[in-house]
Structure 1
């Protein structure tokens, strides 16, 4: 197979990889396909919510989940079809990176708000949003300047709150959380493989979708349809 049609040459670390038209199309499709399911899934959690914190958590998680796929799709579409509008593309690229921090914090919100975690762990409920704020500020000032540092920031924010989740007295859902986290971690290999593996970024998108789907299933099953004695709905 002639891979030249499907993949461009790898670029130096300080430059952005330029996808082929095939890769652009795949990048758009692999996240656009999940916009409607994410909106429907978010609506379902709202429908299942019974208390104030269940509704707040459903809103936060749904907003983070839907925003991730919507903004990613918009950015890749602009990058593909309107790349000559450099300032517009740059703005969407920054938003694409910023929303990842919001998505990570939103993914933890239902667990931190609805599960009993103990007195010391309650601080993580607001600390994840502080971390997300620092992350978005970092992107605003240093976007694409230190790519390795960005990857480290995403990893730390994704892993650090999990240390609290692992200490939950109620362990139901832990297996799904670990599986979803493994999907994200495995996908990061492809996140840094543009120019080495054809459609690397699209493959990364698929791993993100798989991780998000597993985590959504855990939230739906163990926090919104579980027996009342397994869910802590007051703080």
Structure 2
């Protein structure tokens, strides 16, 4: 009896060319290296000019960037043809850390910019949603795959109604960097969806690096006290 054709699970890693995967791993590998230096600068500046909470919040943001880009670089560096099971696991980790990056980016703004009880409340809510989404990815990977992009976007722009509260505690330049970073991530989605275009995912990676850089400088220059 002939074997039935196997239907590809939605959560199975897509097949990229070797050259594309090199571009993917190198781009986010570079992001991980930059994040190491960025984390050190954030922590040092926060310790020098801020208080204990500045060090914790900014370190969480920097660590989220580092782990997210490291997870992505490792995932894309593993050949699908040689280690399909490992590739599946690494893809799940890669996608999970996207939520960590989003929540980590929220952290310094929630704890250091938004005044009153709203800031800590938003911090707890964001991390709760992020951890719930990670559990959803583990328990229902195929369903998650269909709507993951929309979850990322909804969580990323979820604080938009609170922009006036952010503007109260953040200089105009910092607010524009924050918005520009979100726009960079969102603009990259257009390339992420162009699955028939070669190197579309690598271009998406460049937009994520730009978004992270803009948010990084918003935190470094306008969230951490200058003196």
Cα deviation digits, residues 51-90 of structure 1 (max 9, x gap): 1101111221111010111000000001xx3543222111
What does residue 211 of structure 2 align with? 211
What does residue 195 of structure 2 align with? 194
Cα deviation digits, residues 117-148 of structure 1 (max 9, x gap): 34445410211110111110011012244433
What does residue 42 of structure 2 align with? 45
Does residue 23 in structure 1 map to residue 20 in structure 2?
yes
**How far 1:161 sits from its partner (Å)?**
2.5
- Contact between 1:117 and 1:164, CA under 8 Å: does it hold in 2? no
What does residue 5 of structure 2 align with? none
Is the partner of 2:86 in helix, strand or coil? helix
Q: Which moved more, 1:21-30 or 1:209-218?
A: 21-30
What does residue 161 of structure 1 align with? 159
What does residue 5 of structure 1 align with? none
**TM-score, normalised to structure 1's length?**
0.84
Does residue 65 in structure 1 map to residue 65 in structure 2?
yes
**How far 1:29 sits from its partner (Å)?**
1.2
Q: How many residues align?
A: 214
**TM-score, normalised to structure 2's length?**
0.87
Instruction: Specify whether residues 127 and 12 from structure 1 end up closer, same or farther in structure 2 by C-alpha distance, changes over 3 A only.
Output: closer
Q: Which runs of 5+ in 1 are unaligned?
A: 1-10, 228-235
CA distance in 2: counterparts of 1:57 and 1:146, whole angstroms: 29
CA distance in 1: counterparts of 2:122 and 2:99, whole angstroms: 15
Is the partner of 1:33 in helix, strand or coil? helix
Instruction: Specify whether residues 184 and 166 from structure 1 end up closer, same or farther in structure 2 by C-alpha distance, changes over 3 A only.
Output: farther
**How far 1:165 sits from its partner (Å)?**
4.1
What does residue 132 of structure 1 align with? 130
CA distance in 2: counterparts of 1:96 and 1:134, whole angstroms: 16
Q: Which runs of 5+ in 2 are unaligned?
A: 1-7
Alignment of 1:53-202 (within 5 A): 53-78=53-78, 81=79, 83-168=81-166, 169-172=168-171, 173-195=174-196, 197-202=197-202
